[in-house]
Structures are given as structure tokens and as C-alpha cells.
Amino acid sequence: MPFFDTHEKRITKIATILSRILEIAYCGAMICVVVMLVLVLVDPALPGRLGPLEELASRGFSLVISDAQGNLLPGALPVFLIDCALSLGLMTMVFRNVNLILRTTQGLTKFSQGKTPFQKANVRMLREIGIFFIAIVVVQWIFCGIAVLVLGPDKAEVSAGAGDLVTGILLLCLAQCFALGVQMQQDVDGLV
């Protein structure tokens, strides 16, 4: 049994470190996108100097930003960058919560209630992760509509995926299972 305890601790430590790295990476990417958005808004000619851009995609959201002649569609790049910044911000929050759940389960946060995954804080953070994934899909669908309004229905070529919606729903279901686990653990602790 000691091998498995050591092995599990090692895996949990690696997962904790990776979740923190991904949180920082998504946050850095979001900051870069926001800087790019500001630069594009300050200097609208900037995208033309970047080289030929045809289509951009991020986390399932795809937008064609140039016409058949290769000319940049006015307003397309800011719409894409705003959607991208919001999606990256939500993913930053996902990995922040993943890191907090792992640390809370190990008893390493100030709000930990022991070394157990069945804690109210973990249930809340799991629910938040599910909501963040669903919010990514909602944001993408909204920006599909905004792209059609900004570019016009004849020029807008935009799509959004729904994979994060399924992930969000599954995480909300998992949060309910953990909520039941918290209740069962409280019942058992009350008996002892």
C-alpha cells in the first residue's frame, strides 16, 4: 500500500503543478490577445501589416476575417479578439479552480476541511468549472451573432463548437455527485 500512496501523491503533485502552469499560460495568452486588441483598435492598419490573414480560430470559435480578394473585413478582427480574450479568461478560471480543488483536497488551502475531496468548497468550484465551460459556448454563440451583425449576413462566415457545453453539463453532474458525497461524509462524521 505505501507504493500506491506515494504514487498517488506524486500524480496529484504533478497535476497540481500542471494546472497552475496552464492557468498561467491561459492568463498570459489572454493578456497577449487584449494587447493585440488594443493595438488593432489604436492602429486599424496593423492587421494589414501582419501578412495575409484568412481565418482565425480559437477554442471552437472560427471566423473568416478576409474576403475573396484577401482584403480584411472591417470589424472582423476586433470581434474575434474580444471573443478569444473572453474564452481565454474563462479557461484561466477553469484551471485556477482545478488547482484550488487539488490543493484543497490535499488540505493545503486556508479553507480546507481536512484531506478529503468531499468538501463544500470543492463542490462549489466544480460547479463553477461547469458554468465556465457553458459560458464559453454561450460567449461563442453570442459572438457568432455579433459577427453577423458587424460583417453582414452575406460576408459573415463564422462557426462555434458545442463540445464545451457537454463538458460543462458533465461537470455540473459530477458536482452533484460530490455534493452527495459531502452530505454522506457529514452523516458518517456525525455518527462517530
52-61 pLDDT, tens digit each? 778 888 888 9
Distance separating alpha carbons of residues 162 and 72, to the nearest angstrom: 27
Verdict on whether the full-model pTM lies above 0.85: yes
**Span 19-45, average pLDDT:** 94
Question: What is the span of the domain harbouring residue 112?
Answer: 2-191
Distance separating alpha carbons of residues 192 and 187, to the nearest angstrom: 9
What pLDDT, on a 0 to 100 scale, did the predictor assign at position 176? Answer: 95
How many domains is the chain partitioned into structurally? Answer: 1
What pLDDT, on a 0 to 100 scale, did the predictor assign at position 1? Answer: 47
Mean model confidence pLDDT for the chain: 89
What pLDDT, on a 0 to 100 scale, did the predictor assign at position 26? Answer: 98
Question: Which cell numbers in the block locate residue 95?
Answer: 484551471
Which residue type is seen at 94?
V
pLDDT band at 192 (very low <50, low <70, confident <90, very high): low
Residue reference for cell 463553477: 128
pLDDT band at 187 (very low <50, low <70, confident <90, very high): confident
In this structure, are residues 111 and 104 in contact, taking their beta carbons and an 8 Å threshold? Answer: yes
Residues 169-182: tens digit of each pLDDT: 999 999 999 999 98
What pLDDT, on a 0 to 100 scale, did the predictor assign at position 114? Answer: 83
Centre a 10 Å sphere on the Cβ of residue 73 and count the other Cβ atoms it contains.
19
Question: Which cell numbers in the block locate residue 2?
Answer: 505505501
